[in-house]
Amino acid sequence: MVITILTLFPRIFDSPLNESIIKRAKEKGLVTFNIKNIRDFAKDPHKTCDDTPYGGGPGMVMKIEPLYNAIEHVKKDIGDGHFILLSPQGRLLNWEVCERLAKLSHICLICGRYEGIDERILEFVDEEISIGDYILSGGEIAALVVIDTIVRLLPGALGNENSKSQETFREFLLEYPQYTRPENFLGFKVPQVLLSGNHEQIRRWRRKESIRKTILRRPDLISRFCPNEEDSRFIREIMEEIQD
């Protein structure tokens, strides 16, 4: 997969793209990053990328020409791709969006700054993505969130591919509780079943706890969950336990 990033602040990406899972994915050839400074595509001598808003108002707006030039350059250089504008006004990033993006061969993430970007940018992008209902100073951190979530979905990116299969949001469930040594910390003990070595009991306990957590914390998710017969029994038991 090729991930192009269009930004006014390329150095923000130096460290996050050179550590841990993303670094290893790069080394394995699973992902290539192509980071372009939008300023390099401004044609005037001052490399101007922002200007005051038409109609007045606070702050500066990113100009359309450098961005358009950058997008055209990327299309010629790498070929067409999926162009994404990071924006608080976009559709909210979730697990399903990440899965969809991870299947594409080239995505281009466009990072805004200042008061935002000239609205005509929407003519040249495929979608707008928001990482949450809050305002960041720029799209770079949002782009890193998108990158982190999709790189770990690329086959071969994680040391253990099984770790993806039960993660939170799969099947619209939160993941079961995890524990590691010590067995007893200040009197807080690891659930006995996890020490039993009985794989079937552990599987059942994890499944039920995963359902319990989701019922208690994320009723919006549980309403999309499709329980099998065993899950339905767990749900009945959990509801009885909650009422007791």
Question: Which stretches of the chain bind ligand SAM, using CB under 6 A?
Answer: 86-89, 111-113, 115-117, 130-132, 134-139, 142
- 139 near 113, Cβ under 8 Å? yes
Nearer residue to ligand SAM within complex by CB, 17 or 194: 17
Nearer residue to ligand SAM within complex by CB, 138 or 177: 138
Nearer residue to ligand SAM within complex by CB, 68 or 225: 68
**Which two tokens mark 90?**
């976009």
Query: Which residue has the closest beta carbon to ligand SAM?
Result: 112
Minimum distance of ligand SAM from residue 204's CB (angstroms): 40
Minimum distance of ligand SAM from residue 196's CB (angstroms): 45
Q: Is the peptide bond before 182 cis (omega within 30 degrees of 0)?
A: yes
As a whole number of angstroms, the distance between CA 30 and CA 156 comes to 8
Minimum distance of ligand SAM from residue 59's CB (angstroms): 7
Nearer residue to ligand SAM within complex by CB, 11 or 233: 11
Nearer residue to ligand SAM within complex by CB, 135 or 186: 135
As a whole number of angstroms, the distance between CA 22 and CA 6 comes to 18
Residue of 134, 135, 133, 141 lying closest to 116 (CA atoms): 135
Q: Which residue has the tokens 């929407």?
A: 122
Minimum distance of ligand SAM from residue 61's CB (angstroms): 9
Neighbours of 136 (CB within 10 A): 17
- 154 near 161, Cβ under 8 Å? no
Element housing 22 (H / E)? helix 20-27
Minimum distance of ligand SAM from residue 85's CB (angstroms): 7
Nearer residue to ligand SAM within complex by CB, 109 or 215: 109
Minimum distance of ligand SAM from residue 200's CB (angstroms): 43
Q: What proportions of the chain, in percent to the nearest 5, are helix, strand and coil?
A: 45, 15, 40
How is residue 181 annotated by DSSP? S
Q: Which residue has the tokens 């000239």?
A: 118
